């Protein structure tokens, strides 16, 4: 029998309640007027991003030394859940999550003082957009099989290779780059770098069209004889695997926190719609097939929230979260797809038409099955931790 859990109290403190309501208020200022056209045209909400930065939203994710508010992990996920509830643009929500879970943690843990001072204020102020460059055409789930090479020379590292499916790639100012510095050392030959995206030899593709999450631009970043300074190295040479594992744990555990908020919003609107819509002379909420779907959505929301809070709480207690991290990613991603499908069914034709903003969640949710490790990879991890 796996042991059950330690002390966990999920009653929100007055401070967390305040952060939650402030976040709801900030996110409600995001423009609704061209949300569907932004999705159709794959346009990033650059004004919204600036507004969030100016409102100090990213400060909560930074320590006090860097002008931050030093929130603990549980408070961060509570804030992100509130953000996801109020922000109907899931691409923007993923952009926020990518910054705070894939860029901030490795920079804070492994960055030099100089790197932190240089990049953290720029990132938090919305003036610098960072992309996380791991995946390549031939190395997705098997990320350590990457081929991008950073060859050390006296004048810096010469980088050659190409990263694929990178969020923010077309508009990135900064790239967290993973590359091989010692091709003979396997996973231990990988290093990480913080690279100025305007360095000669870097070629950012245009946006690549995708099924969902269209408001977060995505593309490739090619490095062709690109010379970067030694000071771009994050941590030390060969640290890439540790850095990758540490970063992936944050990402896997918490990148879908905003989705829990989106699921809560989705449930509220499905309940309201079911009560309002009548067929055969009565409210469709009286049909058991509809109420069962609502019940399933509620159970999924509660399961996701508990897993998310539990994982955050364990992290704050300094416990290992390897298992919880994979279970959280798997459950949150699969649940949002299932609930989004239920939402489409409940809404009938309105669920299928883009203008009602129901179908978009289903397209956006599907991406969550793939990024930060596919569901199959999460199951592999969980099974391994079960001893098989």
Which residue blocks in 111-239 are alpha helix, DSSP H?
Answer: 113-124
Q: Is 251 a catalytic residue?
A: yes
With contacts defined by CB under 6 A, name the span among 18-26, 134-142, 267-275, 302-310 that binds ligand FAD: 134-142
Distances (CA, A) of 274 to 45, 261, 264, 352: 31, 20, 15, 16
Site for ligand FAD contains 243 (CB under 6 A): no
178: which DSSP letter? E
Residues 157-186 that bind ligand FAD (CB under 6 A): 165-167
With contacts defined by CB under 6 A, name the span among 113-121, 180-188, 304-312, 371-379 that binds ligand FAD: 371-379
Count the residues of the shown chain that bind ligand FAD, applying the rule CB under 6 A.
Answer: 18
The residue from 81, 251, 324, 359 that is catalytic is 251
Site for ligand FAD contains 251 (CB under 6 A): no
Which residue blocks in the chain are alpha helix, DSSP H?
Answer: 14-28, 35-41, 46-54, 73-86, 90-98, 104-110, 113-124, 240-254, 257-276, 288-316, 322-347, 349-352, 359-367, 375-385
Give min distance, CB of 291 to ligand FAD, in A: 33
Give min distance, CB of 352 to ligand FAD, in A: 22
Select 177 or 260, whichever has its Cβ closest to ligand FAD.
Answer: 177
Select 132 or 324, whichever has its Cβ closest to ligand FAD.
Answer: 132
Q: How far apart are CA 357 and CA 334, in angstroms?
A: 20
User: CA geometry: angle at 113 spanning 110 and 117, to 5°?
Assistant: 110
Q: How far apart are CA 271 and CA 92, in angstroms?
A: 25
Helix axes 257-276, 322-347, angle to 10 degrees: 20
Site for ligand FAD contains 385 (CB under 6 A): no
Q: How far apart are CA 279 and CA 347, in angstroms?
A: 12
Q: How far apart are CA 263 and CA 305, in angstroms?
A: 10
With contacts defined by CB under 6 A, name the span among 305-313, 325-333, 342-350, 375-383 that binds ligand FAD: 375-383
Q: How far apart are CA 169 and CA 203, in angstroms?
A: 10
Distances (CA, A) of 60 to 50, 163, 316, 388: 16, 30, 15, 39
Per CB under 6 A, the list member of 67, 140, 201, 238 interacting with ligand FAD is 140
With contacts defined by CB under 6 A, name the span among 77-85, 132-140, 226-234, 280-288 that binds ligand FAD: 132-140
The contact pattern for ligand FAD, residues 193-232, with x = CB under 6 A and - = no contact, is --------------------x----x--------------
With contacts defined by CB under 6 A, name the span among 129-137, 199-207, 325-333, 346-354 that binds ligand FAD: 129-137
Give min distance, CB of 381 to ligand FAD, in A: 10
Place of tokens 């918490």: 254
Q: How far apart are CA 202 and CA 199, in angstroms?
A: 6
Per CB under 6 A, the list member of 243, 367, 381, 382 interacting with ligand FAD is 367
Per CB under 6 A, the list member of 222, 306, 370, 385 interacting with ligand FAD is 370
Select 53 or 177, whichever has its Cβ closest to ligand FAD.
Answer: 177
Site for ligand FAD contains 245 (CB under 6 A): no
Q: How far apart are CA 381 and CA 385, in angstroms?
A: 6
Q: How far apart are CA 194 and CA 107, in angstroms?
A: 9
Place of tokens 């780059």: 177
Residue number with the smallest Cβ distance to ligand FAD: 140
Site for ligand FAD contains 135 (CB under 6 A): yes
Cβ neighbour number for residue 80 with a 10 Å cutoff = 30
Q: How far apart are CA 272 and CA 292, in angstroms?
A: 15
Site for ligand FAD contains 133 (CB under 6 A): yes
Q: How far apart are CA 168 and CA 286, in angstroms?
A: 45
Select 81 or 251, whichever has its Cβ closest to ligand FAD.
Answer: 251
Give min distance, CB of 177 to ligand FAD, in A: 10
Per CB under 6 A, the list member of 36, 151, 187, 380 interacting with ligand FAD is 380
Binding site for ligand FAD (CB under 6 A): 132-135, 140-141, 165-167, 213, 218, 367, 370-371, 374, 376-377, 380
Catalytic residues: 251
């Amino acid at each position: 029998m796996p042991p059950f859990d330690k002390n966990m109290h999920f009653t929100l403190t007055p401070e967390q309640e305040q952060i939650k309501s402030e976040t709801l208020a900030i996110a409600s200022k995001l423009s609704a007027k061209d949300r569907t056209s932004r999705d159709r045209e794959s346009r990033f909400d650059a004004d919204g991003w600036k507004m969030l930065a100016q409102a100090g939203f990213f400060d909560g994710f930074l320590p006090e030394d860097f002008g931050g508010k030093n929130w603990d992990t549980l408070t961060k996920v509570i804030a992100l859940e509130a953000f996801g509830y109020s922000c109907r643009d899931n691409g923007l929500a993923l952009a926020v999550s990518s910054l705070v879970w894939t860029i901030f943690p490795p920079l804070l843990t492994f960055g030099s003082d100089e790197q932190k001072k240089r990049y953290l204020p720029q990132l938090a102020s919305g003036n610098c957009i960072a992309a996380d460059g791991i995946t390549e055409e031939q190395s997705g789930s098997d990320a350590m099989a990457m081929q991008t090479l950073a060859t050390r020379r006296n004048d810096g590292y010469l980088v050659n290779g190409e990263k694929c499916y990178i969020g923010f790639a077309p508009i990135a100012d900064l790239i967290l780059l993973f590359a091989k510095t010692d091709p003979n050392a396997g996973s231990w030959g990988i290093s990480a770098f913080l690279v100025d995206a305007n360095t000669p030899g870097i070629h950012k593709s245009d946006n690549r069209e995708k099924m969902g999450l269209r408001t977060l631009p995505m593309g490739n970043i090619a490095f062709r004889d690109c010379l970067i300074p030694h000071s771009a190295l994050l941590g030390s040479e060969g640290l890439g695997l540790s850095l990758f594992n540490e970063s992936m744990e944050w990402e896997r555990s918490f990148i879908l926190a905003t989705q829990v908020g989106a699921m809560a919003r989705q449930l509220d609107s499905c309940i309201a719609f079911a009560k309002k819509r009548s067929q055969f002379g009565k409210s469709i909420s009286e049909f058991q097939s509809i109420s069962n779907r609502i019940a399933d959505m509620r159970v999924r929301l509660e399961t996701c929230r508990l897993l998310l809070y539990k994982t955050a709480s364990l992290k704050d207690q300094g416990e290992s979260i390897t298992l919880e991290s994979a279970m959280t990613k798997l459950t949150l991603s699969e649940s949002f797809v299932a609930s989004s499908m239920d939402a489409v069914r409940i809404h009938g034709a309105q669920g299928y038409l883009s203008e009602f903003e129901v179908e978009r969640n289903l397209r956006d949710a599907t991406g969550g099955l793939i990024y930060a490790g596919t569901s199959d990879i999460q199951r592999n991890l969980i099974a391994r931790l079960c001893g098989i």
